[in-house]
Amino acid sequence: MKHKIVLYNPQAVFYTMPLGVLAVASQLDREQFDVRIIDGRLESNPVETVLRETRDALCLGVSVLTGAPLKDALKVLRAVKQERPEIITVCGGWHPSLFPAEMLAEPSIDATVQGQGELTFRDLTARLAQDAGLEGVAGLAYRDEGGVRLNPPRPLTRLELLKPPDFGFIPVERYFALKGQRQLDYITSIGCPFRCAFCADPFVYQRRWSGMGADHLGSHLAELHSRYRFCDLNFQDETFFTHKKRVAAIAEEFLRRKFDFTWAATMRADQGVRLSEEHFALCVRSGLRRVLIGVESGSERMLERIKKDTRVEQVLQSAAMCARHGVAVIFSFIVGFPGESENDLRDTLALVKELRAMSPRFETPIFYYKPYPGSELGADVLDQIPKTLDEWGDFDYVQGAAGPWVTSETYRLVERFKFYNRHAWGQRAWHRWPLTALSRWRCRHNYFDWPVEKLILERINPAPDLS
């Protein structure tokens, strides 16, 4: 008889495919396990669905991100443990990777997986099926009668050595419908080699990185494209453009196979300037339509403080190349870092405006710094961050107020700037020209007092909740 494994992806407002639980599910032996993936975003009553599926399950695995997804995960885990105290519950993802032992203080969690979880969860479920202990399962922390046990970490595994993600576990067509386009999500690499002080990645992966080769990737994408006929491919890698030779090989593979879909990926500014015009043109010919560049700050002083290891000049050079080739860019910024001065903020807002004016296809979202423990910068504000799992569940990383180190005046300025900068540039529409013209005037003169038009528009069309 097969053992049933239930995997849960918590609720969120974005419809990126649940690649984490998909990767974990794909490694399990189909002859030994009956695997069910439940996505809280697709369920009208996720708790009820999970309770029904776990009544005869051996194990419940949950992917956990800090913030609202953690809050939803706790609700599900507690409900399941109340109904079935004997079921083994396992959490993986960013929060368990940062708090492997602390999460086990929660009675509804029996084990946590750190870092790359595919093989760890595979080994764990094999032990559970044999009713064996969990000693020595690399990358796992668990609780037993003797307390919390921390097993040794697991080395990074090359993605080619793992079974490819089996999208048959999820309703792909439903995600296409929710996204409003036939867009497939995919990951080609694991980890990140950089040292950004605000990011938890250096802590979780110890600055290690591994990416699959072009042949391996092309072969699997050809199979997926034949099955799902997607029109766009959204690479969810932390840093897709890490090695330019690999990127060029992937672009050549796409052209060789005559793929007709477009694609989008992440890029650092210093990676962009290392690409030649020929290499970038090759990517565009292969279907590249958009990149995401984490700029973070327009202040050279702050870029040094957060150890971004990029410069403003590199951002502008990469932006110019994208504009020349007609590639869209999302330049993400973070304001409100501890120690950020008025001059630093002014430099950031100036760079935001400069980038927005370069191309109607450029977007410049601005977020507030929220500390992730485990990051180097987060250690500076440990006394001002949550201490319990429930507090972390209410700690929203995307929207909400800035940290306590940001003054109310700065917060008000940034919120007004975000509104007017969003409407000042971009695609033009004749019926919006009065707001566009007024927004451009405000941005050029840095005048954001009396934001009457902002209040009216946001009352008519409130911004969606994000998490």
Note the residue count of the chain.
467
Model confidence at 441: pLDDT above 90: yes
Sorted by where each starts, the structural domains of the chain and their CATH numbers stand as 3-150 (3.40.50.280), 181-406 (3.20.20.70)
Q: Which two tokens stand for residue 204?
A: 């979780």
Model confidence at 404: pLDDT above 80: no
Model confidence at 161: pLDDT above 80: yes
pLDDT of residue 401: 62
Please give the helix or strand (H or E) that residue 276 lies within, else none: none
Range 205-234 average pLDDT: 96
Model confidence at 19: pLDDT above 50: yes
Q: Work out the angle at residue 265's Cα, subtended by the Cα atoms of residues 27 and 177, and round it to the nearest 5 degrees.
A: 70
Is residue 263 within 8 Å of residue 235, measured between CB atoms?
yes
pLDDT digits (tens, 9 = 90+) for 25-49: 999 999 999 999 999 999 999 999 9
pLDDT of residue 398: 59
Is residue 111 within 8 Å of residue 134, measured between CB atoms?
yes
Higher-pLDDT residue of 371 and 431 is 371
Q: What is the mean pLDDT of the chain?
A: 92
pLDDT of residue 375: 72
Please give the helix or strand (H or E) that residue 191 lies within, else none: strand 189-191
> What's the order of all strands across the beta sheet hosting 140-144?
33-39, 3-9, 59-63, 88-92, 111-113, 140-144, 147-150
Q: List C-alpha distances in Å: 448 to 78, 187, 331, 440.
A: 47, 41, 22, 11
Model confidence at 303: pLDDT above 80: yes
* φ, ψ (nearest 5 deg) of residue 364: -135, 70
Distance CA 394, CA 386 (A): 9
Q: Work out the angle at residue 410's Cα, subtended by the Cα atoms of residues 404 and 416, and round it to the nearest 5 degrees.
A: 125
pLDDT digits (tens, 9 = 90+) for 166-217: 999 999 999 999 999 999 999 999 999 999 988 888 888 889 999 999 999 9
pTM: 0.92
Higher-pLDDT residue of 431 and 286 is 286
pLDDT of residue 467: 42
Beta-carbon neighbour count of residue 282 at 10 Å?
19
Higher-pLDDT residue of 101 and 17 is 17
The mean-pLDDT minimum among 97-106, 180-189, 243-252, 450-459 falls in: 450-459
Beta-carbon neighbour count of residue 264 at 10 Å?
21
pLDDT of residue 407: 86
**Percent helix / strand / coil, the chain, rounded to 5:** 45, 15, 40
pLDDT of residue 399: 56
